[in-house]
Homo-oligomer: A and B are copies of this chain.
Amino acid sequence: MNDVAIGVDVGGTKALALIVARDGRVLGEVMSPTPHDESHGAGEATAEVLTDQVLQLATRHGLKANGVPVGIGLPGLMRRDGHLAFAPNLQSASGADLGALLGSSLGSSLVYCENDANCAALCEHEWGAGRGIDDFVMVTLGTGIGGGVIADGELVRGRSGFAGEIGHMVVDARGAACLCGGFGCWERYASGGGLGRLTREAAEEGRLPTLVAQRGGTEFVSAEDVTAAAAEGLDEALALVREVGWWLALGLSNLAAILDCGHFVIGGGLSSASDLVLPYAREYLIDLVEGYDVRPTITIMKSMFGPRSGAMGAALVAFERHS
């Protein structure tokens, strides 16, 4: 068994590569912008960046790049065979087998791929806020909502490996249009993107008068303005944060109904607003979960490793599949 593995979390804007010890300690990191060059073959530009990251980390630690297991966390529908079947936020790599591309450029047979939110779930389960908990869901709140489902101690991958697409659970059948082509998807309400959308809606409907006056127009009020004003206690901003908390709780209560998970770990880019949103979500969950009072308490915690959980989990995937 290897002492270290490299995990890379490929996001829509940046790729974070970490070299990680078997006990979860992060020994080194490289961050690069994610290329969106579609002129080469699918995934080739991405594979080049990842190759460079792996080589940097391996060299820095005196290791051969083809001797270290490497895990890659990718956004979108990851097939069990390693192909990225559908990736709206990483179009240039859609359809690619990044494991094969990276393996070939490194001369390594130790490259493994997994969905990014699944990686985060595995990381939190092994080392973080889901440690020792057999039934929980990792919820990553970013532009959209990603998810990783742990049931009875195991990651639920589903038939093709696509499980955990919780952001596209429809919670409002006649609701807002989603990039996926559907309507009323959860991520249109409870993510960073959802907060942005609700902010525009509220500004236009006159529910954010102070912020609109401060910014000089409805179109200049951002989700960040709302978060900052809510942190300072501005009522109109708090009302909007409360609304996001309600929508977050609604989706969590659906997951609790389907999976009877007693715990949620919240990660992703909205995490900075989590301190404001989560207390409301916890409050609303009590009303929204069927039979809440006959269940043990349902807990919601923030991710222990924040933006690193995806890459750490990718390293964990590499450890586990390699062993």
Interface of A toward B, CB cutoff 8 Å: 77, 85-86, 134-135, 147, 149, 151-152, 154, 156-166, 168-175, 180-182, 184, 247, 250, 253-255, 257-262, 287-288, 290-291, 294-296
Contacts and interface: CB of A to CB of B under 8 A. Distances in A.
A165 B296 contact: no
A28 to B, nearest CB: 34
A149 B294 CA distance: 21
B163 A259 contact: yes
A296 B160 CA distance: 8
B159 A261 contact: yes
Contacts of A163: 151, 258-260
A258 B165 contact: yes
B257 A168 contact: yes
Contacts of A290: 165, 168, 180-182
A261 B260 CA distance: 17
Contacts of A174: 172
Contacts of A151: 151, 156, 158, 163
Q: Which of A247, A253, A260: most chain B CB closer than 10 A?
A: A260
A247 to B, nearest CB: 8
Contact of A158 (B181, B260, B291): B260
B257 A166 contact: yes
A152 B156 contact: yes
B152 A134 contact: no
A77 B295 CA distance: 9
